[in-house]
């Protein structure tokens, strides 16, 4: 071991109790950092997985991100043009050439697509009305792009073919209406069409908005109900890598012209909320390490004060300022490193304990979602060493600048 | 002609402030190898201040110091530290031994910092220095297990560790009883006369000063006499 390191360790051994408190402070910070990071990342991944399962990865709709430019503006891009009395063109809604576009999407490797017609209807049962988004699907294609079949808690996707006007609703919606499988609801669309529909299945995605506000029926039936024969207003796409959905969506939008929205764009608000939650929680855990670094600052400051004579003689003997800085910064780093090592153990134990905790959500009992990654351990170590090093560097710099003559005179 | 190991020219040290305080003024001095010099003077006459300037622990307000022919005025702090490590040794009134280290480890500190020898040679050299100062049995003892005289001799051994050209001591016998003080003083004389070290010692003790080769007497920061001690 080098001379400077031996001096640094000797100083720490001289203040065992204070050093131990500082080490425990760092260990606590590192341990909770690891546990909270695992919990946050686990819950975030769990949430995203639930979300991604519940909705299409990309939804192509019969709308445009930007309105088409007026021809006169397109012809005179540099001119100042004022248009009065403009009325929007009464466009026929729906994706044009939908079947051809669907075939084109199917030909792209890694993508599968399914057509649908989405429209608002009111479902009435037992005097209760609930507005829902009714999605017309083709079951054979639907199972390729969504988890609907896996989310069914009652009934099967094929059951949509068994009844004349079959519908699958979310468990929350069914509960609010008081309806069960086999019951017949009255569906009314904005077009004024009414149909009696029979509940043939219930699904639960875990996303409240979906389970309460969506229902599925055969595409043909929804086209009748919406009075839009042969119209498709959505193409839902599934991709191989959900985290590439935004990039693929931009590409599809450029190819097709229609707005293509990825799952993360559609849930930007949720994801922003997750980011804010992460910032808050990391700040709280970071504060623990900050407090621990105050402890390190305190101990190193005390040691530099107590060891002023040692500093003076070391400088008189020919130690450079950087040697003195090194000694005291190393003391902080040693405290940080030992604390981080203990914190790793504490973090691992906390993760084991948390992984045993069971929670009940929507009558489903499960363990807390944890995601443990070596990166969290590395991050905690880096943060602990950086804060410990910085906390020690400040008094170390002051110690290095001490004038040995002042100390020697004071001592004598 | 003897080798000049330390040369001061026009040295002055003024502490800045609302009322500047002059510690030493216009001091020129040459000291040679093998010379044992005592710096004397009343309290506040600038003895220690002069020693710190000669030892490169403090920077002069005016004038310059040369160590073994090397001008030091334009040197950085790190360069001065390196020069102190290589050519100067210090002993203070208090021993300033590192309390966590044994006597031998304290002596090894400058050797290890210089890094010129391997660990075995360092240990042997330190043991030899302690033996020379009559401390062979105290090598493994910590400072709090040693008497005052032993601690001061360990401090001398540490000052000699890197075989310096110049040994500077500030009241090294001030905290010792007469027996230990005489042992320490005789050690200095031996170092100058037998090992050709330059030894410069600040002391209040007139009897000890008389036993040096040369006595420099300061009053109010000026040299008022500089002559052979026995004269």
CB contacts of B112 in chain A (<8 Å) are: 3
A124 and A16 part of one domain: no
A41 and A107 part of one domain: no
CB contact, 8 Å: B57 with chain A? yes
Residues spanned by the domain of A373: 3-51+270-411
Nearest-neighbour CA in chain B from A338: distance (Å): 21
Residues of chain A with pLDDT under 50: none
| Distance in angstroms (rounded) separating the CA atoms of residues B80 and B149 | 30
Give the H/E segment covering residue A335.
helix A321-356
Q: Which two tokens stand for residue B146?
A: 């040693």
CB contacts of A7 in chain B (<8 Å) are: 98
A82 within some domain: no
Q: What is the pLDDT of residue A93?
A: 79
Say whether B84 and A320 touch across the interface (CB within 8 A).
Answer: no
Say whether B77 and A318 touch across the interface (CB within 8 A).
Answer: no
| Distance in angstroms (rounded) separating the CA atoms of residues A58 and A266 | 9
Give the H/E segment covering residue A184.
strand A184-189
Backbone angles phi, psi at B221, to 5 degrees: 80, 5
Residues spanned by the domain of B70: 4-228
Pairing of strands B62-67, B70-71: antiparallel
Among A266, A289, A319, where does a domain finish? Answer: A266
pLDDT along chain B (231 residues), means of 10: 90 91 93 94 92 93 94 92 92 86 94 88 93 89 91 91 92 80 86 92 89 93 87 46
Select from B81, B112, B170 the Cβ nearest to the Cβ of A315.
B81
Question: Are the C-beta atoms of A237 and A188 separated by less than 8 Å?
Answer: no
A305 and A252 part of one domain: no
A62 and A21 part of one domain: no
Say whether B57 and A11 touch across the interface (CB within 8 A).
Answer: no
The closest alpha carbon to B162, from B86, B96, B215, B57, belongs to: B86
Q: What is the pLDDT of residue A90?
A: 67
The residue with tokens 């710190």 is B52
| Distance in angstroms (rounded) separating the CA atoms of residues A386 and A284 | 17
The closest alpha carbon to A198, from A211, A185, A207, A189, belongs to: A185
A84 within some domain: no
A378 within some domain: yes
Q: Which residues contact A52 (CB under 8 A, 6 or more apart)?
A: A242, A263
Say whether B110 and A317 touch across the interface (CB within 8 A).
Answer: yes
Domain count, chain A: 2
CB contact, 8 Å: B100 with chain A? yes
A244 and A162 part of one domain: yes
What is the SS3 assignment for A154? strand
Say whether B113 and A318 touch across the interface (CB within 8 A).
Answer: yes
DSSP for chain B, written as a single string: -PPEEEEEEEEEEEE-SSS-EEEEEEEEEEEETT-EEEEE-STTSSHHHHHHHHTTSS--SEEEEEETTEE-TT--HHHHHHHHHHHEEEE-SS----TTS-HHHHHHHHHHHHT-S-HHHHHHHHHHHHHHTT-GGGTT--GGGS-HHHHHHHHHHHHTTT--SEEEEESTTTTS-HHHHHHHHHHHHHHHHHH--EEEEE-S-HHHHHTSSEEEEEETTEEEEEEETT-
Select from A11, A322, A405 the Cβ nearest to the Cβ of B58.
A405
Nearest CA in chain B to A10: B100
Say whether A13 and B158 touch across the interface (CB within 8 A).
Answer: no
Count of pairs with CB atoms under 8 A, one residue in A, one in B: 79
A371 and A262 part of one domain: no
What is the SS3 assignment for A408? helix
CB contact, 8 Å: B214 with chain A? no
Say whether B81 and A319 touch across the interface (CB within 8 A).
Answer: yes
Q: What is the pLDDT of residue B231?
A: 46
Nearest-neighbour CA in chain A from B115: distance (Å): 10
Question: Are the C-beta atoms of A407 and A309 separated by less than 8 Å?
Answer: yes
Question: Are the C-beta atoms of A29 and A343 separated by less than 8 Å?
Answer: yes
For chain B, the residue count is: 231
| Distance in angstroms (rounded) separating the CA atoms of residues A67 and A181 | 44
Q: Tell me, letter by letter, the H, E, C secondary structure of A194-262.
A: EEEEEEEEEECCCCHHHHHHEEEEEHHHHHHHCCCCCCCCEEEEEECCHHHHHHHHHHHHHHHCCCEEE
Put simply, the chain B residues between 59 and 98 with a CB less than 8 A from any chain A CB are 77-78, 81-86, 88, 90, 92-94, 96, 98
A29 within some domain: yes
Q: Which CATH number goes with the domain that contains B190?
A: 3.40.50.300
Domain count, chain B: 1
| Distance in angstroms (rounded) separating the CA atoms of residues A9 and A26 | 18
CB contacts of B162 in chain A (<8 Å) are: 318
Question: B49 has which bridge partners?
Answer: none
CB contact, 8 Å: B48 with chain A? yes
| Distance in angstroms (rounded) separating the CA atoms of residues A389 and A373 | 25
Say whether A411 and B85 touch across the interface (CB within 8 A).
Answer: no
A79 within some domain: no
| Distance in angstroms (rounded) separating the CA atoms of residues A56 and A242 | 10
CB contact, 8 Å: B109 with chain A? yes
A201 and A167 part of one domain: yes
CB contacts of A404 in chain B (<8 Å) are: 57
A337 and A385 part of one domain: yes
A168 and A305 part of one domain: no
For chain A, the residue count is: 412
Question: Are the C-beta atoms of B34 and B197 separated by less than 8 Å?
Answer: yes
A338 within some domain: yes
Among A243, A266, A289, where does a domain finish? Answer: A266
Question: Are the C-beta atoms of B57 and A316 separated by less than 8 Å?
Answer: yes
Burial of A291 (0-12, 13-18, 19+ CB in 10 A): middle
Question: Are the C-beta atoms of A41 and A277 separated by less than 8 Å?
Answer: no
Say whether B57 and A409 touch across the interface (CB within 8 A).
Answer: no
Nearest-neighbour CA in chain B from A9: distance (Å): 10
A29 and A145 part of one domain: no
| Distance in angstroms (rounded) separating the CA atoms of residues A393 and A404 | 19
Question: B3 has which bridge partners?
Answer: none
Residue B63 CB coordination number (10 Å): 18
Q: Which residues contact A244 (CB under 8 A, 6 or more apart)?
A: none
CB contacts of A318 in chain B (<8 Å) are: 81-86, 88, 110, 113-114, 162
Say whether B96 and A7 touch across the interface (CB within 8 A).
Answer: no
Question: Are the C-beta atoms of B39 and B216 separated by less than 8 Å?
Answer: yes
Helices A321-356 and A308-317 pack at an angle, to 10 degrees, of 130
Say whether B112 and A3 touch across the interface (CB within 8 A).
Answer: yes
Among A197, A231, A266, where does a domain finish? Answer: A266
Nearest CA in chain A to B44: A409
A261 and A312 part of one domain: no
A237 and A275 part of one domain: no
Q: What is the pLDDT of residue B230?
A: 66
Say whether B90 and A317 touch across the interface (CB within 8 A).
Answer: yes
């Amino acid at each position: 071991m080098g001379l400077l390191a031996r001096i640094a360790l000797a100083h720490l051994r001289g203040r065992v109790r204070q050093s131990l408190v500082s080490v425990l402070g760092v260990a606590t910070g590192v341990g909770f950092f690891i546990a909270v990071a695992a919990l946050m990342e686990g819950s975030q991944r769990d949430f995203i997985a639930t979300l991604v399962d519940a909705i299409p990865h990309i939804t192509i709709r019969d709308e445009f991100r930007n309105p088409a430019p007026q021809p006169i503006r397109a012809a005179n891009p540099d001119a100042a043009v004022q248009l009065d009395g403009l009325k929007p063109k009464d466009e026929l809604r729906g994706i044009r050439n939908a079947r051809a576009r669907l075939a084109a999407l199917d030909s792209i490797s890694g993508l599968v697509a399914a057509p649908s017609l989405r429209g608002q209807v009111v479902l009435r049962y037992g005097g209760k009305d609930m507005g829902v988004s009714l999605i017309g699907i083709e079951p054979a294609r639907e199972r390729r792009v969504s988890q609907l079949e896996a989310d069914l808690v009652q009934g099967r996707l094929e059951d949509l073919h068994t009844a004349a006007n079959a519908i699958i609703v979310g468990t929350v919606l069914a509960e609010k209406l008081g309806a069960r499988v086999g019951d017949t609801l009255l569906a009314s669309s904005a077009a004024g069409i009414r149909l009696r529909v029979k509940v043939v299945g219930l699904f639960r995605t875990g996303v409240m908005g979906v389970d309460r506000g969506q229902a599925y029926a055969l595409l043909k039936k929804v086209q009748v109900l919406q009075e839009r024969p042969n119209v498709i207003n959505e193409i839902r796409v599934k991709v191989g890598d959900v985290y590439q959905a935004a990039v693929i969506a931009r590409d599809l939008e450029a190819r097709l012209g229609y707005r293509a929205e990825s799952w993360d764009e559609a849930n930007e608000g949720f994801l922003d909320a997750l980011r804010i939650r992460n910032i808050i929680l990391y700040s709280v855990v970071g504060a623990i390490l900050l407090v621990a670094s105050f402890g390190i600052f305190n101990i190193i400051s005390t040691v530099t004060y107590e060891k002023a004579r040692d500093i003076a003689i070391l400088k008189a003997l020919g130690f450079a300022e950087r040697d003195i800085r090194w000694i005291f910064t190393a003391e902080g780093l040693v405290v940080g490193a030992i604390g981080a090592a203990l914190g790793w153990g504490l973090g691992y134990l906390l993760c084991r304990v948390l992984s045993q905790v069971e929670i009940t959500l929507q009558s489903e009992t499960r363990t807390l979602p944890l995601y443990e990654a070596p990166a969290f351990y590395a991050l905690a170590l880096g943060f602990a060493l950086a804060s410990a090093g910085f906390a020690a560097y400040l008094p170390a710099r002051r110690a290095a600048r001490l004038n040995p003559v002042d100390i020697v005179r004071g001592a004598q | 002609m003897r080798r000049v190991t330390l040369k001061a020219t026009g040295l002055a040290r003024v502490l800045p402030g609302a009322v500047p305080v002059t510690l030493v003024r216009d001091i020129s001095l040459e000291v040679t190898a093998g010379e044992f010099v005592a710096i004397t003077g009343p309290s506040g006459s600038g003895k220690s201040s002069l020693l710190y300037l000669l030892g490169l622990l403090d920077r002069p307000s005016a004038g310059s110091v040369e160590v073994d022919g090397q001008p030091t005025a334009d040197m950085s702090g790190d360069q001065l530290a390196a020069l102190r490590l290589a050519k100067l040794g210090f002993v203070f009134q208090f021993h300033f031994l590192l309390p966590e280290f044994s006597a031998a480890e304290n002596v090894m500190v400058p050797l290890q910092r210089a890094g010129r020898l391997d660990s075995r040679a360092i240990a042997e050299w330190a043991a030899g220095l302690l033996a020379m100062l009559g401390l062979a049995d105290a090598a493994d003892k910590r400072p709090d297990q040693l008497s005052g005289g032993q601690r001061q001799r360990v401090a001398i051994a540490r000052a000699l560790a890197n075989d310096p050209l110049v040994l500077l001591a500030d009241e090294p016998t001030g905290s010792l009883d007469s027996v230990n003080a005489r042992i320490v003083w005789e050690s200095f004389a031996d170092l100058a006369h037998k090992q050709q070290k330059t030894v410069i010692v600040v002391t209040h003790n007139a009897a000890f000063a008389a036993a040096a080769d040369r006595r420099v007497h300061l009053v109010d920061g000026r040299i008022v006499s500089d002559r052979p001690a026995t004269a």
